[in-house]
Structure 1
Amino acid sequence: MNDASTQNKTMEIKLEKLNTILIKPSKPTPSHLQTFKVSLLDQVCPNNHINGTFFYPNNNNNNNNHNHHFSDFSNKSKILQNSLSQTLSHFYPFAGRLHDDTTIHCNDNGVFFIESQTTTTLSEILTNPNFKTLECFPPTTEEKQNMLLLLRFTLFSCGSTAITISITHRIADTNTVISFLNTWTAITTGNEIVPLPDLTVAAALFPPREIPGMSSGSVKTSDAKFTTRRFIFKASKIEELKIKIKNKFEFHPSRVEVVLALIWKCALSASTAVSGSKTTSSILFQAMNLRTRMNIPENVVGTLAWPFWVTVEEESHVALDEMVKRMRKGVMDFIENKVERFKEEGGFKVVVENLKERVEILKRNNENEGSLVIYNSSSWCKFPVLEFDFGWGKPVWCCSVHINLGSNFIYLMDTKNGGGIEAFVTLVEDEMKLFQQNQELLHYAVLNPTTTLISTSKL
């Protein structure tokens, strides 16, 4: 299971699309709400999709008949479609269409709800989670069309199911996804208290503005193939790592800080080895949730996260404790110097400055033929992603697959049993071969183990 050759074996899985249903809000959006202004932070976000797939076991093991599974799936699908329609009446911009960079036309055109099935069992998915397999669940480019939100409901041959949510980053961050799922599950289960979103605060705090002269600053495309691997950091190993670093500093590093620093260090080591460079120059981008720093309610819809970055320019072997120290300093600098400025003038000046800096970084890297190694990270840690119960139990696993983000991406989420961290790391193939054999990394992490979340052989 942990052998590198096992990782390269792609389990054959095919999703058969059964139906694509257009779901519209249960109540029409009033005319005075049909023009929705996104915030400045949404305005500068790329129009790509956040994806999350939630896997639900079949808790009815008394009947293993396919017809029974399909009938149960069809009933659940109707329930989900009905509650989704009601949920969209509260999140009405999601059922609209982008008009321009700052405006959504809330025309109630609806969202796609895609029904699919596969001959694969959930047990096969969880036994050896494979990135190529998991790529099958998010909607394809053809399926997305001009939708802001899409859902896929998948039936496994064992009767288990999966719910995939795919929503544009132009109007949503992780908090928004959580708020949407909280409302949807509450309506689905008939909860008397339905948490409602706040659709007005984001644009009020950060009014959209014209941003002249801003180019995309995209990274040069590469012919290099990249691949993703999954690593599990157990709570005990994370604690060991924290103690090792804590002994050299006065502060107590967080789980995310130490795991992210270790991954960054080992990835950088692999990159240096492949390139043959004697020095290391690298940037790690992270996102800061402004809600927690600006006393903004968690139910505010929109992208209220902003990236900050940490730079290392040292000899080829950068000390792990130094990387953690720089990461912590980067967080504190952002809080002390940027968050307060976000409160002034809707953050316009700091947004423009940061965009120019990021474009300049990418431009400089392209001109120097990629000599600066850039990594991006995203964390779902501390988010209650395994708590969404639609009436047939909580998910046993969740994963977030971003097909179009390219290489050098690190995604973290909590393990189900608490305290641990699950990491999906995407690197070019030559670097991944070295990275997944790094002994320092493997002292703290296990490469793609069989998940311990399987409670029955009938999943």
Structure 2
Amino acid sequence: MIGKLLRLGRRQLHTIISRETIKPSSVTSSHLHTYNLSSIDKLAQHTYMPLILYYSNNDNSNLSAYDKAQKMKKSLSQSLARYYPFAGTLQTPTTPYVDCNDEGVVFVEAKNDSQLETFQHCISEQDETVEQLFADGLFCDNSPHSKSLIGVQLNHFSCGGVIVGLSMSHKIGDGCTLVSFISHWASVTRYGSTEHEEVQPLNPRFLHSPSISSILSEAQVISQGYDNRVTKKFVFPNTKLSDLKNKVNALSLAGSTSPIKNPTRVEVLTSLLYKTAVAAATSKAGCFKPSYLFMPVDIRNKFVEKLPQTMVGNFVGIMMIPTRKASETSLSVMVEEMKKEKSQLEGIPSVEHAAENFKTLKLKLGNEDIEDVIQRSYWCSSLCGFPYNKVDFGWGKPMGASLAVRSADRIGFLLTDTPDGDGIEALVVLEKEDMEIFENDKEMLSFCQII
């Protein structure tokens, strides 16, 4: 309804101007009405991955806000015919299949009277204003009882720029699935058809899993649950990351070990962030406590028979690196351990074997109390290399793209490429006291661009 304000009782920045349910352009065949979740999908939580794409009005399309919305709705309908499970429903968070009933996806339009660039600079990742960019509160774990798998909100700004807020349930896929879907949708918008030669390579692939009739147990939510956390962004230019790689190599040689082979930007930066965060926690506590680094890894190319990047679902392995003493947080030691863990994910014979990776994590922890481990765990997710910054609906590439995080989320780091591709942006979630120490660490700041 026009004029209805979002999130009553909160700081109100957006006004809803339309709401529509977009259904697939063609009816899903009866033999596809049940989409069974894979062994790894079943381990995922029914929480939402919220993607933000910022688009300025500096394009030559000459399309009005209304025309842009209409094109996006039409192409979304076409894309949902290909991604047919996304237009279905998950009856409960523990149902082992998606009911592909073509109920459709909610598409909300909202307006904001501010300038997009001003809004982008002022927005805070831990601020409730981020949530207002997404339809029906489908933001992180705020709507665990929603049956919807996808939500879209198109946010119009007074300058003509827009923000696309897309939420996708982790039950249906991982970060790679999210970028595949929005890249497909954007390309259909741009070229007008799912049959266009530029769109064909982006069409989804589905792995059909066997039916399981029983209801699953609820996946454990790995979150500390505190509300005294803060989120801050740090930018690391590629020139500084090259310096960091050189430092890691020098440290490995000084330790009388063979030089680390081709350390990646993500590996060296994750090591630096983890070392700095653990040092901050140690400084606050007055003593070192054994800690853990967990890293989700895309494993589509780790299978014996490699899977295409357009394969829909959760194809993720988890690397776990324990640090039992302070010396093990050394940059070179951390990078070396990451490479060892990554090598163990090679040659996966099946999805079932990949799912076992999750189950063995608890065995690796031995007799340690899982709740105590969670308190001392840092999660690092990297979306570097994923083409979020290239998603073009026909009016240019985004001026920025990121997954939104909440300060109430688990502590750790989210890494994405900078919009110009010349570095990495790190969203860091830490407890407030730790962040105060972290953000003043001289070694970390020597590789960081102050913004």
TM-score band by shorter chain is 0.7 to 0.9
The residue identity in structure 2 corresponding to 1:138 is F
Corresponding position: 1:236 with 2:236? no
Answer whether contact 2:21 2:107 (CA < 8 A) is retained.
yes
Corresponding position: 1:323 with 2:322? no
When residues 358 and 47 of structure 1 are mapped into structure 2, their CA distance, relative to the original with a 3 A threshold, is farther
| 1:46 paired residue number | 45
Corresponding position: 1:433 with 2:433? no
Q: How far apart are residue 402 of structure 1 and its match?
A: 3.0
Q: How far apart are residue 164 of structure 1 and its match?
A: 1.3
In structure 2, distance between residues paired with 1:218 and 1:56: 34
Q: How far apart are residue 92 of structure 1 and its match?
A: 0.8
In structure 2, distance between residues paired with 1:114 and 1:161: 13
The residue identity in structure 2 corresponding to 1:297 is P
In structure 1, distance between residues paired with 2:339 and 2:368: 26
Answer whether contact 2:222 2:374 (CA < 8 A) is retained.
no
When residues 363 and 216 of structure 1 are mapped into structure 2, their CA distance, relative to the original with a 3 A threshold, is farther
Q: How far apart are residue 177 of structure 1 and its match?
A: 1.5
Corresponding position: 1:266 with 2:276? yes
When residues 46 and 220 of structure 1 are mapped into structure 2, their CA distance, relative to the original with a 3 A threshold, is closer
Corresponding position: 1:409 with 2:419? no
Corresponding position: 1:400 with 2:388? no
The residue identity in structure 1 corresponding to 2:82 is H
Structure 1 portions without partners, runs of 5+: 1-11, 64-70, 450-459
**Which of 132, 138, 141 in structure 1 is aligned with 2:137?**
141
When residues 217 and 112 of structure 1 are mapped into structure 2, their CA distance, relative to the original with a 3 A threshold, is closer
The residue identity in structure 2 corresponding to 1:136 is Q
Q: How far apart are residue 110 of structure 1 and its match?
A: 0.7
When residues 428 and 213 of structure 1 are mapped into structure 2, their CA distance, relative to the original with a 3 A threshold, is same
| 2:173 paired residue number | 172
In structure 2, distance between residues paired with 1:305 and 1:313: 26
Corresponding position: 1:379 with 2:385? no
When residues 280 and 326 of structure 1 are mapped into structure 2, their CA distance, relative to the original with a 3 A threshold, is farther
Deviations 1:139-176 (A, max 9, x none): 45379632100011001111100111100010111221
Q: How far apart are residue 60 of structure 1 and its match?
A: 5.9
Answer whether contact 2:318 2:357 (CA < 8 A) is retained.
no
In structure 1, distance between residues paired with 2:289 and 2:239: 31
Q: How far apart are residue 411 of structure 1 and its match?
A: 0.4
Q: How many residues end up aligned between the 2 structures? A: 418
When residues 362 and 179 of structure 1 are mapped into structure 2, their CA distance, relative to the original with a 3 A threshold, is farther
After TM superposition, list the pairs within 5 Å mapping 1:185-334 onto structure 2: 185-190=186-191, 192-193=196-197, 194-195=199-200, 196-201=202-207, 203-204=208-209, 207=210, 216-219=219-222, 221-247=224-250, 248=252, 249-276=259-286, 278-294=287-303, 295-315=306-326, 318-334=329-345
| 2:153 paired residue number | 152
The residue identity in structure 2 corresponding to 1:343 is P
The residue identity in structure 1 corresponding to 2:355 is V
Deviations 1:69-114 (A, max 9, x none): xx92122111111111111111110010114532111000111111
User: Which secondary structure state, in structure 2, belongs to the residue aligned with residue 21 of structure 1?
Assistant: strand
Of 213-222 and 127-136, more deviation after overlay is shown by 213-222
Deviations 1:352-408 (A, max 9, x none): 46336349859944564x686101111110111111111111111001113386131
Structure 2 portions without partners, runs of 5+: 1-10, 253-258
In structure 1, distance between residues paired with 2:222 and 2:260: 38
In structure 2, distance between residues paired with 1:51 and 1:43: 20
**Which of 94, 102, 105 in structure 1 is aligned with 2:99?**
105
Answer whether contact 2:27 2:81 (CA < 8 A) is retained.
yes
In structure 1, distance between residues paired with 2:242 and 2:223: 39
User: Which secondary structure state, in structure 1, belongs to the residue aligned with residue 302 of structure 2?
Assistant: helix
In structure 2, distance between residues paired with 1:367 and 1:439: 32
| 2:4 paired residue number | none
- Percent of counterpart pairs with the same letter? 27
Answer whether contact 1:95 1:110 (CA < 8 A) is retained.
yes
After TM superposition, list the pairs within 5 Å mapping 1:123-134 onto structure 2: 123-131=117-125, 132=127, 133-134=129-130
Q: How far apart are residue 15 of structure 1 and its match?
A: 1.7
Deviations 1:93-140 (A, max 9, x none): 001011453211100011111111112212113435521243432345
Answer whether contact 1:226 1:407 (CA < 8 A) is retained.
no
User: Which secondary structure state, in structure 1, belongs to the residue aligned with residue 152 of structure 2?
Assistant: strand
Q: RMSD of the alignment, in Å?
A: 2.9
User: Which secondary structure state, in structure 2, belongs to the residue aligned with residue 292 of structure 1?
Assistant: coil
Q: Which has the higher helix share?
A: 1
In structure 2, distance between residues paired with 1:16 and 1:91: 30
The residue identity in structure 1 corresponding to 2:95 is D
In structure 2, distance between residues paired with 1:284 and 1:160: 39
The residue identity in structure 1 corresponding to 2:352 is G
User: Which secondary structure state, in structure 2, belongs to the residue aligned with residue 331 of structure 1?
Assistant: helix
Corresponding position: 1:357 with 2:361? yes
Of 403-412 and 291-300, more deviation after overlay is shown by 403-412
Q: How far apart are residue 55 of structure 1 and its match?
A: 0.5
The residue identity in structure 2 corresponding to 1:137 is L
The residue identity in structure 1 corresponding to 2:349 is K
In structure 2, distance between residues paired with 1:399 and 1:92: 25
Answer whether contact 2:237 2:422 (CA < 8 A) is retained.
yes
In structure 2, distance between residues paired with 1:375 and 1:20: 39
The residue identity in structure 1 corresponding to 2:206 is T
Answer whether contact 2:95 2:216 (CA < 8 A) is retained.
no
After TM superposition, list the pairs within 5 Å mapping 1:340-355 onto structure 2: 340=347, 342-344=348-350, 346-348=351-353, 351-352=355-356, 354-355=358-359
The residue identity in structure 2 corresponding to 1:134 is V
The residue identity in structure 1 corresponding to 2:278 is L
| 1:77 paired residue number | 69
Deviations 1:426-456 (A, max 9, x none): 1111111111111111111134x1xxxxxxx
The residue identity in structure 1 corresponding to 2:37 is V
